[in-house]
Structure formats: structure tokens, C-alpha cells
């Protein structure tokens, strides 16, 4: 039984490790999206500072702002998906970690019972020898 539990524990540890990697990837993706959003804002500010007020520049700037608004909408949606992926990973890793701890506790209980059984047998053997020696 303990061998089976040890195998299950190794498998659960691998699951936790894999989920931790997945969660790290989700955080990296989220951070990349946030950096892209900051870049988008910075490019809008840079273009606005170069706008000279001429009608031609106004047309170009308006088209640029439209593209940036669309980009921002797309980034907002991607950020929501990345946040959801991170949340899903967090829930999965919590479940996997709880399962790992449950298995480790079961293994510890099993080992404790085995030690108690060994001690009972040793005590019974000792008691038997003591009673035989006392009987002589």
C-alpha cells in the first residue's frame, strides 16, 4: 500500500510542478499584455506631442487613434483571457496541492500504523519471553 501511495505522491508532485509552470506562463503572458498596453499608451502620447494641428496631420492622427483604440480593445480582451487563465491555473494548482497533501498524510498514517504493529509484535514477543523466564 505504501508503494502505491508513494507512486501517487510522485504523480501528484509532477502535476503540481506542471501546473506551476503553466501558471508562470499565464503570468508572463499577462505581463507581456500589460507591457503592450503601456506601449500603446506611450505611442499615443508620442504621436499627440508631434501633432502640429494641420488638416493632413489631423487625418493621419485620427486614423492612428482609431487603430490604437482597436488595439486597446484587443489587448483588453487578451488581458481578460490571461487573467482567467491565471485564475484557472491557481484553482487547479490549489486542488492538486491539496490532493498531494492528502496523499502525504495518508502515507504518514500508513507508516505510523506499520510502526505501531511492529512495536506491538515486539512487545508481545518480549512479554512472552518475560513470562517464560518468570515461569522458570
The predicted-structure confidence for 9-54, as pLDDT tens digits, reads as follows 999 999 999 999 999 999 999 999 999 999 999 998 888 888 777 7
The predicted-structure confidence for 84-111, as pLDDT tens digits, reads as follows 999 999 999 999 999 999 999 999 999 9
Residue reference for cell 492622427: 61
The pLDDT value given to residue 135: 67
Residue 50: alpha-carbon gap to chain centroid: 44
Task: Supply 88's cell numbers.
Answer: 484557472
Q: Please report, for residues 17, 76, 93, 127, the alpha-carbon distance to residue 21 in angstroms, rounded to integers and kept in the order given.
A: 6, 24, 10, 56
Give, in degrees to the nearest 5, the angle at Cα 26 between 23 and 27. Answer: 90
Whether the predicted pLDDT of 113 surpasses 90: yes
Q: For residue 4, which phi and psi values (nearest 5 degrees)?
A: -65, -45
The pLDDT value given to residue 119: 95
Task: Supply 85's cell numbers.
Answer: 487563465
Q: Please report, for residues 48, 55, 60, the alpha-carbon distance to residue 52 in angstroms, rounded to integers and kept in the order given.
A: 9, 9, 11
Whether the predicted pLDDT of 136 surpasses 90: no
The pLDDT value given to residue 1: 78
Q: Are 68 and 43 in contact (CB under 8 A)?
A: yes
Helix or strand run (H / E) with residue 95: helix 55-135
The predicted-structure confidence for 70-87, as pLDDT tens digits, reads as follows 999 999 999 999 999 999
Amino acid at each position: 500500500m505504501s508503494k502505491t501511495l508513494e507512486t501517487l505522491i510522485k504523480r501528484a508532485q509532477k502535476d503540481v510542478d506542471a501546473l506551476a509552470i503553466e501558471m508562470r506562463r499565464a503570468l508572463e503572458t499577462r505581463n507581456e499584455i500589460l507591457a503592450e498596453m503601456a506601449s500603446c499608451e506611450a505611442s499615443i502620447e508620442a504621436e499627440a506631442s508631434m501633432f502640429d494641428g494641420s488638416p493632413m496631420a489631423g487625418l493621419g492622427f485620427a486614423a492612428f487613434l482609431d487603430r490604437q483604440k482597436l488595439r486597446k480593445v484587443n489587448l483588453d480582451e487578451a488581458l481578460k483571457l490571461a487573467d482567467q487563465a491565471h485564475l484557472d491555473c491557481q484553482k487547479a494548482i490549489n486542488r492538486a496541492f491539496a490532493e498531494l497533501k492528502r496523499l502525504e498524510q495518508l502515507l504518514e498514517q500508513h507508516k505510523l500504523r506499520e510502526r505501531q504493529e511492529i512495536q506491538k509484535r515486539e512487545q508481545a514477543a518480549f512479554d512472552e519471553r518475560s513470562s517464560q523466564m518468570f515461569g522458570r
